[in-house]
A = this chain, B = another copy of it.
């Protein structure tokens, strides 16, 4: 594993190290006083101050101030980094083609530069999202109600996609809008638009409903609902079904399954 760190290097030493690191596709950490210019989708400049610079082997380039989660300036993965010396200062440039974006960092006083070929072969395992909810409901439709049979996922309508379409035990059409977190008014409006879309557009579901004189039921499925959204669904004749998103990590699930 290649790993180097330099404290208080001069510009030339720093340049050499950065050059070496970029060639080796290493991850670079720099703590230094710098000045930043960005031009691309927007335009920005940041005057002299100390920041932490992170350059990743995938081309991602981050500049962090001592506040906030978000970097003050950045470039996305696949950007090309180059370094050069000018006026005895180290410059770093990160360039992106489409859209055309250029980040330029002038570096004055360097506290340290580190580079390393990071060894990390793990990916984040996560749960608790809308997709997990959707998977769970497709697997266990009785969570919605007895007799519910889901038929279609991501059904395209004018204003978006209906998360799950299905039928109840009486063959009424059910339109499910899923939210992994507390549902607000916007979720109800979204569902209402989808219902309008279904009713206003020519489609097989609508034809079948009309032919069989069945209803179209709108269901908002979420762990909980805000008060104003609750009021709105009552006005709109939409139903609310409380369902918690699954909080089971894939790894745990696999272990559970392996147990059988």
Contacts and interface: CB of A to CB of B under 8 A. Distances in A.
A247 to B, nearest CB: 5
B27 A125 contact: no
In this complex, the member of A7, A67, A71, A75 whose beta carbon has the largest number of chain B beta carbons within 10 angstroms is A67
A62 interface: yes
B68 A56 contact: yes
Interface residues of A, number: 62
A189 B159 contact: yes
A54 B64 contact: yes
A72 B73 CA distance: 18
Copies in the complex: 2
Contact of A114 (B41, B44, B73, B112): B112
A29 B49 contact: no
Interface stretch (A126-134, A136-144, A198-206, A208-216): A126-134
Interface in A61-94: 62, 64-69, 71-77
Contact of A5 (B7, B45, B123): B7
Contacts of A57: 66-67
A125 B45 contact: yes
Closest 6 CB pairs of A and B: A49-B120, A42-B128, A44-B126, A66-B118, A47-B122, A49-B122
Interface of A: 3, 5, 7, 27, 29, 31, 33, 41-52, 54, 56-58, 60, 62, 64-69, 71-77, 111-112, 114, 116, 118-129, 159, 180-181, 189, 245, 247, 249, 251
30 contacts: A3-B111, A5-B5, A5-B112, A41-B128, A42-B129, A43-B128, A43-B247, A43-B249, A44-B124, A44-B125, A44-B126, A44-B249, A45-B124, A45-B125, A46-B124, A49-B121, A51-B118, A51-B120, A54-B64, A56-B67, A57-B67, A58-B66, A58-B67, A62-B64, A65-B118, A66-B118, A66-B120, A69-B71, A73-B124, A159-B189
